[in-house]
Every structure is written in C-alpha cells, then in structure tokens.
Structure 1
C-alpha cells in the first residue's frame, strides 16, 4: 500500500541515490546502472510508491510500452525469446505489448499498424515475412529491431544467427556417425532461416563427398503436423534413409511420431537431429540431439538494446554462436540395421 505523502525525495533517501537517478529509473529516460536501479526499485517497493505512468506519458509523450510481434507467440521457440525479453524489462517502467504475425504479410502489417497507432515507444519483430523495403520504412516511423532477418540498411538493428553453420554442424554430426542417407525436413519456402538451414545441409553433404538427393528433402512449415506427414511420405514411398535432420525441434517431434507409428525406433533404426534446443527437447523420449539457439539470452539482449534505443543510444546487439547439443536421439550407424520398415 502506498504510504501517504511519499515523495520522490524520500525514495531517493531510502535508496541512497540522487533524486535525478530515481526520476531516470521511473521514467526510463536515460541509462541507470543496474545496482542503482535495483536500489531504487527496492525503495519503491518498501515505501509502496506507485508512479503514475499515465500522467507521465501525457507529459513525456511516451507510452512506456514496447511492441513485440512474433510469427506465432504460442510457438515454444518464440515464447522463450519473449520470456527473456520480458525478464529484460523487469525493474524498468516499460511493458511489452505482444502480437502475432501468423506467417502472413497482411496480418503482420495489421499488427504493426495497430501497435504504432497505440503509440508504442519501440517495436521488435521476431522474424518477419515483410520485404526489406517495408522494414526500412517502418524503421523510419518507430525505433525498430529485427530478430532472425538480415535487412540491408538496418544492420545495426538486426540480430541474426548463423543458421547455415548450425545446419552444417547437425548434418556433419550425422555423417561422422556413419550416416549417408540423411533426410531433411525443411522449413517454409522463402523463409530466411529455412533457406539457410537447407544450404548448410547441402554444404555438409558436398564437403563430405556425398550427393545431394532432392527426394530426401521434404517440405515442412516448422510445425509438428507437416513434419509428421512429410516423414510418412518418405516412408510410404520406400525411400531408404538412416537419419533425419529436421529444420526445427517442433518438426523433429512430428518426425519422431511418424517413425513410431511405422515401428521405427530412434535412434536404433533412425537417428534424429533437430534445431533450436527448445526447453522441452532435453526431456523427449529419447532426449533430442539438436542445435542450440540461446533463445532466452536473445530475448534479454533485445530488451537491453531496445531500452537503450528509446533513450537515444546507439543500438548494440551481441553476436551469439550456435552449438550442437548431442543427446540420445543419434547413434553410430549399424551397418546391419534395418534402414526402413514398410
């Protein structure tokens, strides 16, 4: 409960900081060192002081909100990025406002226009289906950061990962285990990450003198159902393979179910590799070998960058490396093993 008569001066006294530091912490108008920000927040809580953000937004012209648009906010992958982003805003006056683009340019555009109309102070796109010129135009209207896309002209505001290198790691791992017939359940046509992962898969085959066979590549959309159907298609067309590289963990789950329904065991009959290392991937049966993307840390980094951007600082986004988490869904090829069951 707010104590009667509590003032910003009293908050500063209890926190052991200046009044201007309390003001900057409450308003989010400038950088405040983490230890001072924490001291102010403790004092605010102790004194029960509740800033009137509505009144301040009328004075400053800021809504104290940051819009976040993901392709699908219910996706486990984007949900973990959002979790990190939300945690990165803890202790600041800013709140995230979430929308989904639903893999549709029109719906993504509608979501962007809605958030801009509601006067968000900045906008983060977690993936995007919009063309580069449209993203550059949006960056002229609102402070913008884009995750998962390289946009010429907005390089400093884009956080991208080495999807090509991650796919190369996954495919090379299977090759080093002796697999030669490696199927790939790919992501959507034209989606930047999906295309880079396909290229990494092809490069690993080429660098190890293995042919690229197009009939071992089947179409998915990063969701479980299409991967399940695509894997059944491979099996029912009697195309031999001993391993699958799925372009994300959700599709690895769908592929795993299709193999199970056809009586094939992972990894005894077919080795399986995913991409993302979602929080639940270490707890599947068997635990999934997958390329780790540090989704939570990415969300935290995006939050920190956007807080700086709305305060007029030059945006800085770190580089994140990808690693392979080897678990029990892959094993060395047994030459006598059955490659496919009808």
Structure 2
C-alpha cells in the first residue's frame, strides 16, 4: 500500500513551512495568491487528505453536527435530513445522525452519546421532556425543529400547525363535507394536539357536533393509520371524509379502506398532512398539507452554522400550503 502524503510532503513540495500549508487549509493564511495556488496544486498532485480529526483536536472542534431524528427511515424526517446535508455540503462540517424512535429514553441516549463528538445538535421533533433538552442545550449549541423549548424560542423552528390543519379542514368543508373523522397523532405530541384542536374548532364553528367516535389516535406510522381506520369503520358511524394528522397514517388508512371494499375518494375522501415525497405516487395521489421539511432542515443547519460563529439567530415559523391531488371529492 503506498504511503499517504503528509502535510510536510506538501510543504516540502512547495518550499513553505507546514504551518503555512495548515493555515491555507483553514483559510487563515496571509500569503500571496501565487503561493496559495501552488499549495492547492501540490495538495491535488500528492492526493493529500487533511486530517480533520487532528485539526479538530488543535482547534477544539469536531467539525460534526449531530442530528437526532425520530426515524431515519421516515420520509418526513428524511426530507429534513436531506436539507441539513445540503446546507452543510459546501462547509467543513459533516452531519452525524441518530434516531430516537419516538422513545424518550433513546432520545436522551442519543443526545448523551453525541456529547464531545459534535460541535452542535439539531433535534427533529421528539418526546424527551423539555427540561432535559434544555439541559443539553446548556452544554452544546442546540436547535429544535418542530417543537418549542422554553428559553430556546429563537433556536426553535416551527411549522404553523394551526394554519396547516385549517387548510385541510376548510378544504373539506368547502367541498360540502360535514361528517369528517380525524385520525390524530399521539396525544403526547404538541403538533398532533394542535392539529386536532384546530379540527375541533373549525367543525364546532360550523355548528357540527363532533362525536367522540369520530376521533381515533395513532402514532404517526402507517400501521396505526390502518388500525385507526378499522376502528372508525367498526364504530358504525357514517363519515364522508377523514383528516389524517400525517401522510403515513393516511397511507395506512387507504389500505384499510381498500380491504373494506371502499374507494378513495368515491366512498371516502382522505386528506393528509406533511406532503411526503411518496404521497404523489400512492393511488390515488394524496391531497395533503405541505410541510417544507427540506427547507426546515436547511434553515436549521444554517442556523447552527451561525450559532457556531457566535451570531444571534431567530428561526421563527415556516408556512404550510395545501397540495390538491386526487384523494378528495365534493360531497353535496
């Protein structure tokens, strides 16, 4: 195996000191353009790969950004992770991903394992208590996406759940639906509860009495959407439309309707929330509320880079929008 080129090899090839090469790599060198170009050419010719770990030890940095997601396989969180990666592509930083699988114990384990391994952490959603998240935020720069932590309001990036749920429910109401069931997310999830409350408020404002049997809770995964729809069908209640708190549960609900011999949207209209990439390709394509999660990932990563440079940030809210496809029809 050929010997790897070293920093000294590059320096010797150009006729400068190793510290000059190191400063060029870090962007802090005060050298002529000609010298810089000669160093960069020697690096290329010698196939020199900088030792980021060694440089990090000297500078007290890891050049890693931790990302604690809930499910690495989730199309919803996948969009946010893609946004993080895109924002870091042209920087020295690399993302390090771990998932909590919606279990506070695993989320805390992930945060603990990242201590000392990353320069900052982005937390996507989660169920870990706010005070525990704040505890880690006192030890390392931290940004939250999809939840707001007291004391970290400017470092919390939210999608307006009330506005998104309003878009979904008002769309159904405008098309004549009055008996609208709801497959909600976990009651422990603030975003799920916000969507459910908006659903209740809008129906009550229309003078529609929402029966308890119209609302069934899932856990944001496809299997729970199937089980929730089965429960709605077995309740004996008649409904013309279902508002699902996320797209993945809507996929599961579609499967339950198919197995029951019911057609979407001819027999039951279905609307989701998230606009996951796969929602364009289910049958029928799912009408849903778009959450700009890729944009959220990019904004969170850029916010982290700003924090690491000592800048003040204020991430605020992202606005959802309605995506009309083919899973909803008028009901007059």
TM range (shorter): 0.7 to 0.9
CA shift, 1:236, in A, is: 1.9
CA shift, 1:81, in A, is: 0.5
The C-alpha deviation readout for 1:227-268, integer Å capped at 9, x for no partner, is 101111111221100000000000000000111111111111
More deviation, 136-145/47-56: 47-56
1:23 aligns with 2:21: no
- 258, 267, 270: which one aligns with 2:268: 270
Aligned-partner Cα distance in 2 for 1:62–1:50? 18
What SS class does the counterpart of residue 166 from structure 2 fall into? helix
More deviation, 128-137/67-76: 128-137
Q: 1:25 and 1:303, CA in 2 relative to 1: closer, same or farther beyond 3 A?
A: farther
CA shift, 1:284, in A, is: 1.1
> Which residue of 2 is the match for residue 209 of structure 1?
207
The C-alpha deviation readout for 1:204-224, integer Å capped at 9, x for no partner, is 212222222221001100011
> Which residue of 1 is the match for residue 34 of structure 2?
none
Q: 1:153 and 1:318, CA in 2 relative to 1: closer, same or farther beyond 3 A?
A: closer
Aligned-partner Cα distance in 1 for 2:234–2:210? 21
- 288, 305, 314: which one aligns with 2:286: 288
Q: Once superposed, what is the RMSD of the aligned Cα atoms?
A: 2.6
What SS class does the counterpart of residue 77 from structure 1 fall into? helix
Aligned-partner Cα distance in 1 for 2:91–2:319? 28
1:306 aligns with 2:304: yes
1:234 aligns with 2:238: no
Q: 1:151 and 1:262, CA in 2 relative to 1: closer, same or farther beyond 3 A?
A: same
> Which residue of 2 is the match for residue 171 of structure 1?
169
> Which residue of 2 is the match for residue 57 of structure 1?
56
> Which residue of 1 is the match for residue 251 of structure 2?
253
Aligned-partner Cα distance in 2 for 1:268–1:2? 67
More deviation, 230-239/263-272: 230-239
Q: TM-score normalised to the size of structure 2? A: 0.87
1:321 aligns with 2:324: no
Q: TM-score normalised to the size of structure 1? A: 0.85
Q: 1:278 and 1:58, CA in 2 relative to 1: closer, same or farther beyond 3 A?
A: same
Aligned-partner Cα distance in 2 for 1:21–1:314? 28
What SS class does the counterpart of residue 51 from structure 1 fall into? coil
Show the 5 A alignment for 1:1-342. 5-6=9-10, 23-24=26-27, 48-116=47-115, 118-317=116-315, 319-333=317-331, 335=332
CA shift, 1:151, in A, is: 1.2
Instruction: Give unpaired runs (5+ residues) of structure 1.
Output: 11-18, 27-38, 336-342
Q: Would you say the 8 A contact 2:127–2:188 is kept in 1?
A: no
Query: Which of structures 1 and 2 has the bigger CA Rg?
Result: 2
CA shift, 1:282, in A, is: 1.1
Q: How many residues are aligned here? A: 312
Moved runs in structure 1, 4+ residues, more than 6 A?
1-4, 42-45
